[in-house]
A and B are shown apart, each in its own frame.
Chain A
Amino acid sequence: MINKTFTKDMRETWMYGILGFLVFLLVWQAACVFTNFGKIFPTPKVSLAAFLQAFVEPIGRHTLLGHISISLRRVLIGYTLSSITGIIIGLLMGYSKLAHAIIYPIFCIIRPIPGIAWIPLAILWIGIGEPTIHFIIFMGGFSQMVMNTMDGAQHVDTELVGVAKVLGAKENQIFRKIVLPSSIPYIFTGLQTSLSTSWMAVLAAEMITAREGAGWLIIAGMQTGRIENNVIGMIAIGLVGLILATLLRNAERRLCRWTVRSR
């Protein structure tokens, strides 16, 4: 009985899902055929063909996969740097009240500035090139990383720390055995949000300063009037975003099984 309703439920999920998708495609197609929308926007069929073609035929200097991997490499560099520095500074501020008092007021000046807003400054400071893009991605993820890690280090169970002190643990033992492990779930939340802002920052940076990459692909599509490139770029960007988020969520499930919150 339970099994039967379950399969019925599954069947409905698929049915309505496919229905929704078909309606979406139909509206898209109809809009292209019957309205002015079609003059600037490709039909679903043309978009799909262009998407598949982009895997073999280069757009600009690279194929679609080439552009994506360039963007991913940039994200990887900026994101790794911002995560490492963010975690260190966050732990420091969360654990030591003195460090918090010294760093936090200065950090508060840069915290509310979105990573993307650093683009013009970064160009003036570093010039146009890879380091600028890395810097922008760095700034995009940095403050979230610091805030989340700090939050984690501040929410350590004080009873545990007390017990450790009574049993004669040294400062660095407390830090390594208690503060660090209990901050890890917070650090993972930080890693997840900062990855998606990094992915967004690289797009914006590439739209403004780069000559290749996923962000360049969609802005060039706009500038040359080849909207299908734009559509392809967005499909690819969405897919990559989805894959990145899924990877991190799985990593979290693996690495800190003891605290994974139900999602």
Chain B
Amino acid sequence: MKEKTKYIIISIVSLISFILLWDLVSKSGIISAKKLPAPSKLFETFIYKLGNKNPDGNTLPIHIWTSLKEALIGFFFGIVIGVPLGISMAWFKKFDKFFSPLFDLIKPIPPVGWVPIMITFFGIGIMSKVSVIFIASFIPAVINSYSGIKQTREVHKWVSQTFGASNRQVLFTIAIPSAGPMIFTGARVALNGSWVSLVAAELIASTKGLGYMIQTARLVGRIDVVFVGVLVIGVFGAAMMEGLSFLERKLVKGGRRS
């Protein structure tokens, strides 16, 4: 126990000295504040951006809301369509044989690669982003629910069949619950991919959102705003992952529930 508190103290000291060093380097001009703004300056900018539209036309909360909305809509549709498709591909052989080759075609294309085509189709509005994120979350959702179902223990299936379960019962009471953890792993990969490709899509062409904010701030040379944007992207990415883990703990419970 004492050992543990020692390491926690070291961690805190390390973090504080990192920030102090950063502050020192920036304020003393070893690295100019134009390249590395001091942490205190970043905090000021953060507070300023909360209510001010300069330099990119929208306040920080609006950018965050836009990005979150696009990411979550795309993610939602990716999961809602991807998971059932993955499950049916794993359960129905003919389905699998029909869709697998097509799926293998689009699987290796990184979601970012879809950005230009989607912009051509849908313009730079919300639709193009949502469809890129849809693809980003659809692919891992299919892959993981597919392999989750495929990894169902044969013994469990046999037992249920011996007791006279129908094919549908085996699927819904054995295969899908036991694939739960795998499906959630897929959802986590999907959420991560959504956030990454959203930032990319917004960097490339957009009028709102966190990616747009950092891109515009770069063009006008406001590195402090870029820094704030990048950190906010990190924080919200991490927060969404935490939310999903929380949901998983509530729903799956170690995969033990029937």
Contacts and interface: CB of A to CB of B under 8 A. Distances in A.
A214 to B, nearest CB: 8
Contact of B116 (A18, A207, A241): A207
B7 interface: yes
Interface string A4-17: 00000000110111
Contacts of B113: 200, 203, 215, 218, 233-234, 237-238
Main secondary structure of the interface of B (DSSP, over half): helix
24 contacts: A13-B97, A15-B97, A16-B94, A20-B99, A40-B121, A98-B7, A112-B238, A112-B241, A114-B195, A114-B233, A114-B237, A115-B196, A119-B203, A120-B218, A120-B230, A204-B200, A207-B200, A208-B215, A215-B112, A218-B113, A222-B119, A230-B117, A238-B106, A241-B110
A51 B117 CA distance: 16
A73 B117 CA distance: 25
A124 interface: yes
B15 interface: yes
A163 interface: no
Contact of A234 (B35, B109, B196, B230): B109
Interface string B187-214: 0000000011101100110000001001
B101 A21 contact: yes
A155 interface: no
Interface of B: 7-8, 10-12, 14-15, 18, 35, 93-94, 97-102, 105-117, 119-121, 195-197, 199-200, 203-204, 211, 214-215, 217-218, 221, 223, 226-227, 229-231, 233-235, 237-238, 241
Nearest to A17: B101
Nearest to B214: A120
B14 A101 contact: yes
Contacts of B119: 222
Interface stretch (A56-64, A79-87, A102-110, A177-185): A102-110
Given A125-B35, A200-B113, 8 more contacts: A12-B97, A15-B97, A103-B14, A106-B15, A111-B234, A120-B218, A215-B112, A234-B117
Contacts of B94: 12, 16
Nearest to A123: B218
In the complex, which of the residues A18, A125, A200 has the most CB atoms of chain B within 10 Å of its own CB atom? A200
Interface of A: 12-13, 15-21, 24, 40-41, 97-98, 100-106, 109-121, 123-125, 196-197, 199-200, 203-204, 207-208, 215, 218-219, 221-222, 227, 230-231, 233-234, 237-242, 245
Contact of B217 (A98, A120, A215, A234): A120
A203 B109 CA distance: 11
In the complex, which of the residues A103, A222, A227 has the most CB atoms of chain B within 10 Å of its own CB atom? A222
